[in-house]
Structures are given as C-alpha cells and as structure tokens.
Amino acid sequence: MSTRMSVAELNAFLETDFPQIHTGGRSFVVEAAGPMTARVRMAYHQRHLRPGGTISGPAMFALADLSLYIAILAQIGPVALAVTTNLNINFLRKPEPRDLIGECRLLKLGKRLAVGEVAILSEGRDDLVAHATGCYSIPPV
C-alpha cells in the first residue's frame, strides 16, 4: 500500500488548513509517512511545560492526536474533515524537556473509520513516555 500524500504535502496541508497549530511558533513537523504509519515531531518549547519542568499532558495529547491524523491523511489524501471520535492516552513516565516524537501505526483503515496507536518517545530515548490509541471518523467522499 502506497501513500497518497508525501511528507512535504502533509506539512504544506498543515500550513494551509491548520495554521493555528503554529500559533506562538512552529511546534509540529511531519518527519515521515509510510504505508499505515507516520512520525511527527513536537519541538520542545517552554509553552509545553507544566510545573515541575516536564512536558504537559495536553501537549502530549495534541502530539498523539496529530500523529494519528497525519497517518490517516497520508493514506486517504487531504480530507480536512476527518475528525477524532475517541482518543485514550496512558502517561507512562515523566518526559524530559526535549523534543517528543509521535510514532503512529494504523491498525484499521476503513471507508468510514480509522483506528491506530501512537507511541510517544523523548528524542534520543527508547522508553515510551506515553501510549495512545484512537479512532477517527472519515467523512463520505
């Protein structure tokens, strides 16, 4: 299975259709997109920190959601109205203040529904800091 959107096209799509995700400075960059997979980087910024100097849960949640969305778009093309219907996240360890990587793998991609999982890691580390599973609704074409 090949992808319908390249990394450059996915990043351009985010710039055009979701410029608000870069409010306050660029945070998210699509690094890779392959068959049923995607890799998204969330650049470290102090706005992502919570008290105690760790990356906040909402920032990790955003990375998980965006990684899943990007993996889906890479497969189906630029469908802006695909929406999250469910996202569960387990926070496994305190991430250090550094870039986080979301590695998504789609488990099911149907005509109307997509299900996937996202492993979130701190840059340069092998241990997961969070694990998310989610479901997206795909609008009829």
Task: Write down the pLDDT at residue 50.
Answer: 87
> Is 128's pLDDT higher than 80?
yes
79, 73 contact by CB (below 8 A): yes
Q: At CB < 8 A and 24+ separation, what contacts does 52-59 make? A: 52/94, 53/97, 54/94, 54/95, 54/96, 54/97, 55/95, 55/96, 55/97, 55/100, 55/129, 57/89, 57/91, 59/100
Question: How does pLDDT run across 53-101, given as a tens digit for each residue?
Answer: 899 999 999 999 999 999 999 999 999 999 999 999 999 999 989 999 9
Q: What is the mean pLDDT of residues 30-42?
A: 98
- Both tokens assigned to 90: 């387990």
pLDDT band at 1 (very low <50, low <70, confident <90, very high): low
Task: Write down the pLDDT at residue 32.
Answer: 98
Full 3-state SS string of 68-129:
HHHHHHHHHCCCCCCEEEEEEEEECCCCCCCCEEEEEEEEEECCCEEEEEEEEEECCCCCEE
Buried/exposed code over 78-101 (b: 16+ C-beta within 10 A; e: otherwise) = ebeebeeeebebebeeebbeebbb
- Class of the domain covering 7-137: alpha beta
With left for phi above 0 and alpha for psi between -120 and 50, is residue 52 left, alpha or beta? left
- Both tokens assigned to 81: 């109205």
**Domain spans of the chain?**
7-137
